[in-house]
Structure 1
Amino acid sequence: MTEHTDPTDGQAVVFITGAARRIGAEIARTFHQAGYRVVIHCHRSRTDADALALQLNEIRAGSTSVVSADLTDEHALSGLGDAVLSCHQRLDVLVNNASSFYPTPLPSLTQVQWLDLMNSNARAGLFLAQQLAPALSTTAGSIINLTDINVSRGMAEFSAYTMAKAALGAMTRSLARELAPRVRVNAVSPGAILWPEHTQASAAQDAEQAGIISGIPLGRLGTPADIARTVLFLARDATYITGQNIRVDGGRALG
C-alpha cells in the first residue's frame, strides 16, 4: 500500500482548478515552493497560466504543467481527469478552487446563471473527485475544496452562489466518509481576502468595504497567502483531519 509521498522528493503532484490568477495562483506558488509538482488549470486565463508555469519551471524544470478546460462544459469536464494524470502520471492533491462569482438578484435570476454558478462551484468539483479518486487513493492523497464563510451567513442578491458553495460543503462531508480511509477531504472557507474583480470604485463602495473591515476582529483583510498556507497544511500536514471546514476569515464569522 503506497503512502503519501513527501513533497520534498519532487514526486508529489497537486492539481489546482482556477490557478492562473489571484488565490489559485498563490496556492500554486505555495505548493511549488513546498516541493510539489503543479498542474495549473485555467479556462479564459491561458496567458496568465502559461506565464505562471514558465515562472515555476524556471525555478524547477519540468515541475509545472497547464491544462485548459471550461468546467461548465460537460464534455470538457469529462476528459479533464485524464489530461491531469497524463502530466505526471500520478496525483496527490486535488484543490477545487475555480469559482464563478457574481450577484444574482432574485427578480432577475436566470436558469443560465444558476447553471453556471452550480456547475463551476459544485458540479465540477464532484466529477473531478470521481475521475481522480482512484489516483488519489493510490497515493493516500487528499481533496481540498474552497468554499465561503457566507454559506452560513447568507448574502443578499447572491443566493445562487451561496447555494452552490453550500453544495460544495455538503460534498466535502459526504466524500470524506465515502473516500476514507485512503483519501482525506476537507474545505477552506475564505473570508474577506481580495475584493471581487467586478467591484467599481466609488464612495459608496469604499464605505461598504470599510464596514466589512470594521466587522473583522483582526481588523484587516486576509491575503491569498493565508488561504494557500491553510490549503497546504490540510494537504501535507493534517494527516488525521478529514471532513472539516477551516474558516480563514480573521474572526469575521464570529458575528
Structure 2
Amino acid sequence: MSVLEQFSLQGRVALVTGAGRGLGRAMAVAFAEAGASVICAARTAADVETSAELCNATAGQGLAAICDVGNADQREAAVKLATERFGRLDVLVNNAGGAYPNDPLNTSTADFDRDFHFNVTTALAMSQLCLPQLREHQGSIINISSAAARYAQAGFSSYSTVKAALSQLTRSLAADFAPAVRVNGIAPGSILTDALGQFLDQETQQKMADLTPMKRLGRAEDIAAAALYLASPAAAWVTGKILEIDGGAEASTWPF
C-alpha cells in the first residue's frame, strides 16, 4: 500500500456528530474528500444538509441526519441510517459537545451534570451503539477533547473537567476494545470557529495568537487533517492516544 493509499477512506463509512458547523463539518468534508461516505449528524437540519452537500461535492458521499446526541432515539436513528443506507460503519467521531466558561461558586450541580452528560455520557452511548459494526469492520472511534483538559485556567472548571474525563474515557475504551477497534482522541487548542469567534474581537484574537508558539489561531482544517490520519489505515497501530493539535501551546491562550 502506497503512502497516499494509507490515507484513503475509500469504501469506508463514517458518522460524525456535531457535523453541522465548525470542526464537525470540516472533519466530515475531509473524510468525504478521502473517499468516505459520511453521515453528518447534528441538531439543525439546515446545517447538516449543507454539510452533506459539501461532502457530496467531493469524491465521497454525504447524508444528513438530525441528531441531538442527548436524545437516545435520535442517536439510534443516526446509527441505523448509516447501516441501512451504506451497509456498514467504520468510523465514529464523537465531536458534539462543549460548555461555556463558568464561575464554580455559581455553577449548580445540575449544570455540571448537564455538561458532563453532553460531553462524556453521550460519547459513551454513541460508542456502545456503534461498537458491533466497528468490531465487524476493524473500525475506529475518535473523541474530540480539548487542550483545556490539561490546562489549569480560571473560569473553565466545568469545561476542562468534562474534557479531561473524555480524554480518560478514550484511553480506557481503547484498552477495552483493542485490538478490534481503535479509540483515539484529539485535543484541539484555540481554533477560530464560530463557537470561539463569538467571544473575540480582532484585538483578543491577536493576543491569543501572540500566546501561541505558532503565532496564529488554529483552523478547522488543522483538526480535520488529524482526524483523517486517525481514521485512516495510516494510524492502524495507534490507539489510546490523544493528539494535541494546539500550535505548541503548553498553557492557556485565553486572554481574559
Q: Give ranges in structure 2 of 5+ residues lacking alignment.
A: none
Q: Give ranges in structure 1 of 5+ residues lacking alignment.
A: none
Residue from 177, 180, 184 that aligns with 2:178: 180
Q: CA-to-partner distance for each residue in 1:110-157, whole Å, 9 max, x for gaps?
A: 234223311221111111111111100111111111111111112322
**Contact kept in structure 1, 2:174 and 2:182, CA below 8 Å:** yes
Residue aligning to 1:33 = 33
State the shift of 1:83 in Å. Answer: 3.5
State the shift of 1:87 in Å. Answer: 3.0
**Contact kept in structure 2, 1:39 and 1:66, CA below 8 Å:** yes
Residue aligning to 1:239 = 236
d(CA) in 2 for partners of 1:212 and 1:197?
12
Residue aligning to 1:143 = 141
Identity, % of aligned pairs? 31
Letter of the 1:37 partner, please give it. Answer: S
Residue aligning to 1:217 = 213
Residue aligning to 2:245 = 248
d(CA) in 2 for partners of 1:172 and 1:198?
29
State the shift of 1:53 in Å. Answer: 1.3
State the shift of 1:158 in Å. Answer: 1.6
Letter of the 1:11 partner, please give it. Answer: G
Count of residues in Structure 1 that have an aligned counterpart in Structure 2: 245
Residue aligning to 1:118 = 116
Query: TM-score when scaled to structure 1?
Result: 0.87
Query: TM-score when scaled to structure 2?
Result: 0.87
**The residue matched to 2:150 in structure 1 has which SS?**
helix
Letter of the 2:184 partner, please give it. Answer: N
State the shift of 1:171 in Å. Answer: 0.8
Two-structure CA RMSD over aligned residues (Å): 2.3
Map of 1:1-255 to 2, 5 A cutoff?
10-43=10-43, 45-59=44-58, 63-194=61-192, 196-199=196-199, 201=201, 206-236=202-232, 237-253=234-250
**Contact kept in structure 2, 1:144 and 1:185, CA below 8 Å:** yes
**Contact kept in structure 1, 2:120 and 2:166, CA below 8 Å:** yes
Cα distance change, pair 60–136 in 1 and its aligned pair in 2 (3 A): same
Letter of the 1:217 partner, please give it. Answer: P
**The residue matched to 1:103 in structure 2 has which SS?**
coil
d(CA) in 2 for partners of 1:155 and 1:96?
24
**Contact kept in structure 2, 1:97 and 1:146, CA below 8 Å:** yes
* Segment of structure 1 superposing worse, 239-248 or 206-215: 206-215
d(CA) in 1 for partners of 2:58 and 2:79?
26
d(CA) in 2 for partners of 1:38 and 1:29?
8
State the shift of 1:10 in Å. Answer: 4.2
Q: CA-to-partner distance for each residue in 1:43-69, whole Å, 9 max, x for gaps?
A: 1x22021122123324458x2111112
Cα distance change, pair 217–180 in 1 and its aligned pair in 2 (3 A): same
